[in-house]
Amino acid sequence: MFELMAGGKIGHIALSDIADQMVIAPATANVIGKVANGIADDFLTTMIMATKVPVLFVPSMNTKMWESSIVQGNIEKLKENGYQFMEPTAGDLACGWQGKGRLPPIDDIVEQMEDIFTEKDYVDQRVLITAGPTVEAIDPVRCISNRSSGKMGYAIAKMAKRRGAEVVLITGITSLPPPRCDIRVIDVVTAQEMRAVVMEEQRRASVIIKAAAVADYRCKEENLQKIKKKNGKDEITLALTKNPDIIEELGRVIGDRVLVGFAAETEHVVEHARDKLQRKHLDLIVANDVSKSGIGFGADDNEVTIIDAAGGAVHVPRLSKDEIAEIILDEALKVAKKKKKTEEDWY
């Protein structure tokens, strides 16, 4: 505990001075109890006592220990003193029990660490985000869809939550895990299902970001049985009908809230995006060229141009989708603040 480091510095003090954040993972009932009651009798507890940086406890223990009134009382005491906690997850425990007490996944712990460092400039916003593709049945076996992976919308949801927003993510079918455990996720399949959920949820949203790739058409007639191959026929004709235009409908009711759309294009990207922005009454549109390799559908990176209703455009070079999401949220927040100021000036 008192080992000296370079320059004769005491180890637990020196390390607490150089840290930007301290994470205790796994945090046992023992260490939680010690710190809560001011006991510092080993290297870890002395280092925790000596630091002034944010401290995150990630508890992991037997279910009965976790539910103990003593442990819960110690946790509440630490929270009141500014310490932060993650909830353990439920599942099989090392002791043979099943229940709450497992160490959360490392990615979730890292996300919580990032959350602590992030400015909470969205704390007063309720953000509704759509992501992923919609799927329209041809018959019980086949379907019409698109190449959207949902990664861009999921990145926006994660970053919005990290910045303090209340987030609702409405998603089509993807292979992605939920972006965070504390985000409300609503799963849909078809464009009509997405429209119904969006129009219900939008009533309580202050910022709406439509990153989903919604199928423009669906089969005019529902085929309840598999369409069989016809002998001698090399072609089949499907009669399609138009799906609801969700973002156009939102544009008619958005009022003084913020509406952001996406334009995935393969040519004349900015021109097509500007036209869509005006026709749909959007505040911002995010345009990207999905014909370029390494960006767009399925990729971890993107390159976009963000266009506003006044005609201004910001080109964002190739970055990770998390970084692109941050920039989109920055631009949306500028619009929200401008609308709020205009409303205040009017009154």
Active-site residue set: 95
Please answer whether residues 197 and 180 qualify as being in contact, where contact means their C-beta atoms are separated by less than 8 angstroms.
Answer: no
Two tokens, residue 347 = 């009154």
Instruction: Give the relative orientation of helices 11-18 and 43-50 as an angle to the nearest 10 degrees.
Output: 50
| Alpha-carbon span 307 to 342, nearest angstrom | 20
Q: Which two tokens stand for residue 217?
A: 């058409």
Q: Which two tokens stand for residue 279?
A: 């026709």
- The CA–CA distances, whole Å, from 154 to 123, 160, 259, 278, 287 equal 19, 10, 17, 26, 17
What's the alpha-carbon Rg for the chain, to the nearest Å? 25
Instruction: Report how far apart, in Å, the C-alpha atoms of 144 and of each of 132, 191, 219, 230 are.
Output: 14, 11, 9, 21
The 3 state secondary structure assigned to 24-56 is EEEECHHHHHHHHCCCCCCHHHHHHHHCCCCEE
Return all residues near 141 (Cβ < 8 A) that are at least 6 apart: 226
Amino acid letter, 336: A
Q: Could you give the dihedral angle defined by the CA atoms of residues 5, 9, 11 and 17, in that order, rounded to the nearest 10 degrees?
A: -120
Contact 292, 281 (CB under 8 A): no
User: What tokens were used for 60?
Assistant: 């992991």
Q: Which residue has the tokens 């423009």?
A: 216
